[in-house]
Structure 1
Amino acid sequence: MGDYAAALVFFEKVLEIHQKSLPSDHPDLVLSYKNTGESYRSVGNYEMALSYYEKALEIHKKSLPSNHSILAGHYNNIAIAHHFMGNDVMALSYLNEALEICRQSLPSDHPDLARYYSSIAAVHGSLGNYTIALSYNEKTLTIRQKFLPSNHPNLALNYNNIARAHHSLGKYAMALSYLKKALEIMEISFSNRHPLLARAYSNMAATLEKFGRYDEAVGYAIQAAEIVRSSLGRDHAETKAYENQLHKLQQSMSLL
C-alpha cells in the first residue's frame, strides 16, 4: 500500500505543476490526469479515479475525432472505475463505445481488442451474465494466445477469469482446471505480494470449497488474505472481502 500511496503523492505533485504552468485544456495535462487517476484507483478511491479519468477524456474530446482510438482508452478507464463503484450498467455503456471505436479501426485479432473484451467480460460477470462473460473471456484468450508466449502473465489472468466464469456457472471441475493453469504461471511471474495472485488464491479457495476440500481451501484463503493485507492495507475493500471469505471457510470447517 505504501508504494501506491507514494506514487499518488508524486503524481499529484506533477499534476499541480502542470496545472500552474499549462492552459486548462493543454494535451500534456491528459497524462497527468490519467496517472493521478490510476494512482487513486490503486489505493481504492474509485470516485477520485473517475473524476481524473473524465478530465483526461474531456481534453482529448476537444482535440481528437470522435472515433479516435485514444478515446477508446479513456472510455475503458472510465468504465473500469464505474465497474469498481458498482455502476456496471454505466460501465458497460462506456465499454461498448470503446469497442465500437476499436472494431472500426483495428483488425479482429488486434491485441487492443483483447483488453476491451476482458473488461466487458468482467462487467457481464458482475451483472450475473456468466455465459456472456465466459464468451468474452474466451475471445480474449484466443487473441492473446496468438501473440503471447505460453507463460505470459496476461494468459494467467485470462485463465483466472475463465475459471471464475465456469465457477459461477457451476462447472467447478472446469474452474479448477483453469485455476491450476493460472497459478502455474502466476506463482513464477508475480511477486508473492501481488494482489492478482491473491485473487487467484481466493478463487481457488472458493472452488475447492465446492468439492468439500476445506483444509486446502482455508490454506489458499489465508494466503489471499495475507497478500492483500500486506500490499493494500487492512482498510482496503479487497482485504475485507478476503478476510470475510477466510472467516466463513473457517466457520464451515468448525461445523464438520
Structure 2
Amino acid sequence: MTARIGEFNALSSFGGLLLHRGEFENVRKFCEKMFRQLPDNHPDRAVVYNNWGCYHLHKGKYDEALGSYVIANTILHSLPPKYVDPAVQVMTYSNIGAVYDKMKNFPEAANYYILSIYICYESQDIDFKQVLRLYSLIALAMQEHDPGYARYCLNKAVQLVEKKEFLKKHSSYAWFLLSDAILQPRRTKNDRVSACQKFDDTIKKFTECLLRNHPDMIVAYRAIGDFYRSIGQYEQAKKQYESASKVCTAVHIGQPNHPDVSECKEKLNDIDKLIQQTNP
C-alpha cells in the first residue's frame, strides 16, 4: 500500500520499497529497528506504523493492521501542523480505508478514502495519481451500497483522466479502468461485450504497472470474476477466480488460512456448484 502513494522521505521510501518488493520479513525487521531507534514523539513513527500495518495486512491480521494505522493517525494528529507531511496523512487514511475494504465494511472504507482525497486537494502539490486511484476505489467499494455515489466518483475519475493525460501511464489508471468496467451497464449484450473488452485493457494495464504476482492482481481478477458471475458467464468467472487463486497462492506462500486464500477457494467452490447446476 505504502508504495502506491509515492516517496515521502528516505525512511518511508525505504520501507515502501520493501513492501513493493514483497519483502515482508524485511519490513518487519525494519519496523522493529525503527521503533527502537526513533523517539516516541518523532513524526517518522507515523510512517513506521503505516509500514507495520502493511506487514500485518499482508499476514491477514486485519485488526492488528487497523490498530497500527490508527496509532499512526493518532501520532499525526498530536503533531503541530508544520510537522505533518500531507502525503503521510493521505497514506494513513488510505491504508485505514484499505483495511475496512478487506473487512467488507465498504461505507467505512469509502469514508477514509474520501478523507484522503480531501487532504490531497488541500496539499500544495496535488497528487492526481493518488486522487484517481481513490475515486476508483470508492466507486468499486460503493457499487452495491450506493450506486449513485459510486457513479458520481467514477465520473470524477473520468474527468481527471480527460484533463490529465499523464495519468494513463500510472497504475492508478488500471484501477480506473477496473472501476469503469465493473460499473458498466449490463442490460444489453452490447453492454456486456463492452465491459469484457474493458477487462482486457484493465489486466494489461495492471500487468504493465505492477510486479509479477502483486496482491492487487488478486483484487482485480476476483472483481472481474464477480462481474462474469453476475451475468451468468460462469466459465469465464471461473477462469478469473483461478487466476486470482494462482496469484494468491504465490503471494501468501505458507499461509493456507489467509483470508484471501480462503476467499479464493470459496469463490471457486461456489462457481463450480453453479456450473454443475447449469450443466447437470
TM-score, normalisation: structure 1 = 0.78
Bigger mean CA offset, 133-142 vs 108-117: 108-117
Q: Given the alignment of the two structures, is residue 248 of structure 1 paired with residue 270 of structure 2, yes or no?
A: yes
Residues 129 and 172 in structure 2, CA contact (< 8 A), matched pair in contact too = no
Q: Deviations over 1:154-194 (max 9, x none)?
A: 32222112222337899644432321221233345545533
Residues 8 and 36 in structure 1, CA contact (< 8 A), matched pair in contact too = no
Q: How does 1:39-50 map to 2 (within 5 A)?
A: 39-50=55-66
Number of residue-to-residue matches in the alignment:
253
Q: Distance in 2 between matches of 1:64 and 1:25?
A: 11
- Report the CA distance shift for 1:239/1:167 in structure 2 as closer, same or farther (over 3 A): farther
1:25, distance to aligned residue in structure 2 (A)? 1.2
Give the corresponding residue for 1:21: 37
1:149, distance to aligned residue in structure 2 (A)? 6.3
Task: For 1:118, give the aligned amino acid.
Answer: S
Residues 221 and 245 in structure 1, CA contact (< 8 A), matched pair in contact too = yes
Q: Given the alignment of the two structures, is residue 234 of structure 1 paired with residue 256 of structure 2, yes or no?
A: yes
Query: Which runs of no fewer than 5 residues in structure 2 stay unpaired?
Result: 1-17
Task: For 2:68, give the aligned amino acid.
Answer: Y
1:21, distance to aligned residue in structure 2 (A)? 3.3
Give the corresponding residue for 1:166: 184
Task: For 1:82, give the aligned amino acid.
Answer: Y
1:73, distance to aligned residue in structure 2 (A)? 3.2
Q: Distance in 2 between matches of 1:147 and 1:61?
A: 35
Give the corresponding residue for 2:116: 98
Q: Distance in 2 between matches of 1:48 and 1:114?
A: 28
Give the corresponding residue for 2:157: 140
Q: Percent identity?
A: 20
Q: Distance in 2 between matches of 1:112 and 1:190?
A: 15
Q: How does 1:1-256 map to 2 (within 5 A)?
A: 7-65=23-81, 69-70=86-87, 71-105=89-123, 110-125=128-143, 128-144=145-161, 146-148=164-166, 150=168, 152-166=170-184, 172-190=192-210, 193-210=213-230, 212-232=232-252, 233-255=255-277, 256=279
Residues 27 and 59 in structure 1, CA contact (< 8 A), matched pair in contact too = yes
- Report the CA distance shift for 1:106/1:253 in structure 2 as closer, same or farther (over 3 A): same
Query: Which runs of no fewer than 5 residues in structure 1 stay unpaired?
Result: none
TM-score, normalisation: structure 2 = 0.73
Residues 33 and 52 in structure 1, CA contact (< 8 A), matched pair in contact too = yes
1:138, distance to aligned residue in structure 2 (A)? 3.7
Task: For 1:69, give the aligned amino acid.
Answer: P
1:212, distance to aligned residue in structure 2 (A)? 4.6
Q: Distance in 2 between matches of 1:222 and 1:40?
A: 25
1:24, distance to aligned residue in structure 2 (A)? 1.1
